[in-house]
Structure 1
């Protein structure tokens, strides 16, 4: 099987079953129907949801999970099954696309393995296109210099984060930052040194935030951090950590660079534009104190 590599099986307790089929091969009509379903979307979650629906017509399993560097999908994959069957999906050139796993009440028999082989072969091409699209989108949302999110990614993320926090009733804060007197670095020492400073600053911000927070370069020396979830002390603690790490960073300390920071907490009824404006006002006030 050049595109389907069996990895391992694990043992854990079973629950609800999705579907059952005792066939050993897919008919031409079956393959056509599966292919048509897999061509409906190049969005990873939608593609894998369609694949799970089709696979459940032929093979008995409880849940499904797909993992790759470009994305992740899971459906009913709680760790409560007697068996987990794992497979590596590889192209004909042995390029690994990711891993697909099935929760099963019993081990998969040879007939089911044969059907999955056919199903995985049909999945390969749309999955390759889908993951490539995900990769290109990820590149388009990254700042080319620092590797963190760019302004487009910020615009996409702030709206999504507010929507999530509104539903989950969690706190959110927007922090805006820039480097004081950064223009003097570019003018006196050149843009190469300026780029080194920006890269060092982005690295500090990335290390200073929590796993749930997100950092972006909006342009020039302007950066933003979405803090979520937040408490009354969250933003203050992050700000203190950032200032301490700036002072300890060799590149920024050698250039005698510091940062101005402004932050504002989101509340219901506050638009993304108004949240940004209020954080920007706080940034300006902090800059005036320098």
Structure 2
């Protein structure tokens, strides 16, 4: 005797559950769009304010002249000395911080694993991430200027900025290295390729676009720092192309000096300096993205 099996009934609430999920999905999607628009408001407001107040003063004179013999109420003058100083300081900072940070991240991900030393290094990187910028400037001022008796210089400012840049690049590089599939590592090892060659020619090129993005985020952060520069490079209104000798100008200190002056002509120069700083950061980010895209296409 055979018993007939009855087909399982579909839950009566299946349709309502699907409808509920669709509603929740639409609500969350709408909230994400609203949050995105809210995040754009301060960004657009800042850009609008800086462009409105700074574009009129950002001219050829501003880019080719310094503030030598120019007072706060005087018309004219420019940020050439500050532009040169900022570019030199950020370049030196990157040359110091990027190799140290990338090598540290490689050790933490590829060699250290869960070792005791790796945990200690990771802990100190976390501590450095929270260091206030003025503390980094005080450290370099105490070590470089007071202990070693060196003078104010752009290089001292670059040392202070590198302390702030290293932890950001380390964390960004770590995350990018973690995203590289283990299959690539295993395939390289299976072919008999040494670990160091695998890292140099397989892992790093794969993670390079993300690493460059992290580096540019770090550059954007340190390029606008003022407090550590006031303690290490001081301030000057004349051109100093030597970052290893004497006080040197920078765009953050240029903005700080002019915005503190009560005259409107000085405020106009401060807004123009802020706009120039934003333009430099945007150009550097654009260059980094183009380089990353070129490497990504070459890797394919």
Q: TM-score when scaled to structure 2?
A: 0.22
Larger radius of gyration: 2
Of Structure 1 and Structure 2, the greater helix share is in 2
Of Structure 1 and Structure 2, the greater strand share is in 1
